[in-house]
């Protein structure tokens, strides 16, 4: 296994400066064993890291700092200073400063990812309201990264050791759900999740369950008709190419543990998928953006302003997001290597053997 495969360079965006993001990063990277599996690069500033480090007296964090992600120390934690000015950090407050610098960090990290300076990205939580500006009109990380990397569609895929849940719609008002649950949207998400399960999670023949939109999955048209007019036809068509089943009534599906029989579940909307996921993932949930040409993960929670700056944040999900990011990078590299042109690989091997024979002849 190559050194790059063993220890990929992982970037971390700091999230809202007044939330728990930097505390999560410090707690995650404080264990020096993290350097055995990756080279961490935090996009923030030395001053912001030191501000939160002071409130964590029992944690010792050593790092190297630079202004450029191309100049990192592979044997240390690295801080890329995305800004130099003094910034008023006020833990627990929702204000413009927290959102402004969260996006500065995110853009710097995303650019480093696009430029190949880092191999994966773990994003700390942002608040959707205070990041809005003329330059950032997104409801979260997922649509921003979709546009930044120029892909038509991505899927929010929540992952945990015991389940994976994808969403057709993400941050859409419940009153507008009907117009977003379309044949095209469901097919797109199914394809993305199916491909991701193969390439990113190493599942050759994934099985995907699809939930209905309405209570009791519509009761055959008595409670809404989306199942009959949209979801069932999509599933029937999808069966020609992938192993997809449903639609299932969401309440009974999770209550009976049926999610454990599938490699992923596709929910129609945010709360339908995330409420059972967060209830059953037991604090180990990770948000993964499937469909990107790069690897991005995040914890399955928000900024937690109520405990920011108090040293109480549980970094379990953030640590899992880091592990998942590394695992998917390794899985992708293995997937690509296994599917290289076998004739090309054979030619390279024959060429190498021929070179070795020439060397042996010249030395004899």
pLDDT per residue as tens, the chain (364 positions): 344 557 999 999 999 999 999 999 999 999 989 999 999 999 999 999 999 999 898 888 899 999 888 889 998 999 999 999 999 999 999 999 999 999 999 999 999 999 999 999 999 999 999 999 999 999 899 999 999 999 999 999 999 998 999 999 998 898 888 889 999 999 999 999 999 999 999 999 999 999 999 888 867 777 788 889 999 999 999 999 999 999 999 989 999 999 999 999 999 999 999 999 999 988 789 999 999 999 999 999 999 999 999 999 999 999 999 999 999 999 999 887 777 665 555 555 565 565 556 555 555 5
- The CATH code of the domain that includes 239 is 3.40.718.10
Whether residues 45 and 141 share a domain: the answer is yes
Q: How far apart are CA 260 and CA 104, in angstroms?
A: 40
Last residue of a domain, one of 289, 322, 343: 289
Q: Are 57 and 126 in the same domain? A: yes
Residues 115, 25: one domain? yes
Are residues 7 and 125 part of one domain?
yes
Same domain for 260 and 172: yes
Enter the DSSP assignment of 67: S
Asked whether residue 116 falls in the same domain as residue 195, the answer is: no
Note the pTM of the prediction, 2 decimals. Answer: 0.89
Residues 147 and 2 in one domain: yes
Strands (E), the chain: 9-13, 39-44, 63-66, 77-81, 120-123, 155-160, 163-167, 207-211, 243-248, 264-267, 286-290, 295-299
Q: Are 115 and 10 in the same domain?
A: yes
Report the distance separating Cα 273 and Cα 294, nearest Å: 24
Strands (E), 18-145: 39-44, 63-66, 77-81, 120-123
One domain, residues 123 and 163:
no
Domain carrying residue 190: 152-289
- Give the pLDDT confidence score for residue 344 in this predicted structure: 55
Same domain, 136 and 157: no
Do 14 and 144 belong to one domain? yes
Write down which residue in 289, 317, 334 finishes a domain.
289
Q: What pLDDT is stored for residue 2 in this prediction?
A: 43
Residue that is last in its domain, among 228, 255, 289:
289
Q: From CA 271, how far away is CA 267, in angstroms rounded?
A: 9
Same domain, 88 and 45: yes
Question: For residue 1, what pLDDT is reported?
Answer: 37
pLDDT of the residue at 215: 87
Pull the structure tokens for residue 176: 């507008």
* Domain count for the chain: 2
């Amino acid at each position: 296994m190559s050194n790059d495969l063993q220890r990929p360079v992982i970037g971390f965006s700091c999230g809202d400066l007044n939330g728990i993001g930097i505390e999560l990063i410090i707690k995650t990277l404080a264990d020096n064993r993290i350097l055995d599996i990756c080279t961490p690069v935090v996009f923030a500033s030395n001053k912001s890291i030191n501000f939160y480090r002071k409130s964590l007296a029992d944690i010792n964090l050593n790092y190297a700092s630079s202004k450029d992600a191309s100049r990192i120390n592979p044997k240390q934690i690295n801080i890329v200073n995305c800004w130099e000015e003094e910034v008023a950090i006020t833990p627990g407050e929702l204000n413009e400063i927290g959102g402004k610098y969260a996006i500065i960090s995110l853009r710097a990290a995303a650019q480093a990812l696009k430029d190949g300076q880092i191999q994966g990205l773990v994003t700390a939580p942002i608040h959707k309201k205070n990041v809005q500006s003329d330059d950032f009109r997104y409801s979260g990380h997922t649509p921003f990264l979709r546009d930044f990397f120029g892909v038509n569609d991505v899927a929010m895929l929540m992952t945990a050791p015991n389940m994976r849940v994808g969403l057709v719609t993400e941050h859409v008002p419940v009153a507008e759900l009907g117009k977003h649950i379309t044949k095209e949207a469901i097919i797109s998400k199914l394809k993305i999740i199916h491909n991701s399960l193969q390439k990113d999670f190493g599942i050759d023949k994934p099985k995907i369950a699809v939930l209905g939109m309405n209570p009791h999955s519509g009761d055959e048209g008595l409670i809404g008709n989306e199942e009959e007019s949209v979801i069932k036809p999509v599933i029937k068509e999808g069966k020609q190419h992938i192993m997809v089943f449903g639609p299932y009534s969401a309440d009974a599906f999770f209550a009976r543990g049926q999610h454990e029989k599938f490699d992923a579940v596709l929910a129609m909307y945010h709360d339908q998928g995330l409420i059972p996921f967060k209830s059953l993932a037991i604090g180990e949930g990770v948000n993964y953006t499937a469909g990107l040409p790069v690897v991005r993960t995040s914890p399955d929670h928000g900024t937690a302003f109520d405990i920011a700056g108090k040293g109480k944040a549980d970094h379990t999900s953030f640590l899992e997001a880091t592990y998942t990011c590394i695992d998917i990078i390794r899985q992708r590299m293995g997937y690509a290597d296994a599917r290289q042109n076998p004739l090309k690989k054979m030619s390279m091997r024959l060429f190498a053997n021929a070179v070795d024979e020439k060397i042996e002849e010249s030395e004899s």
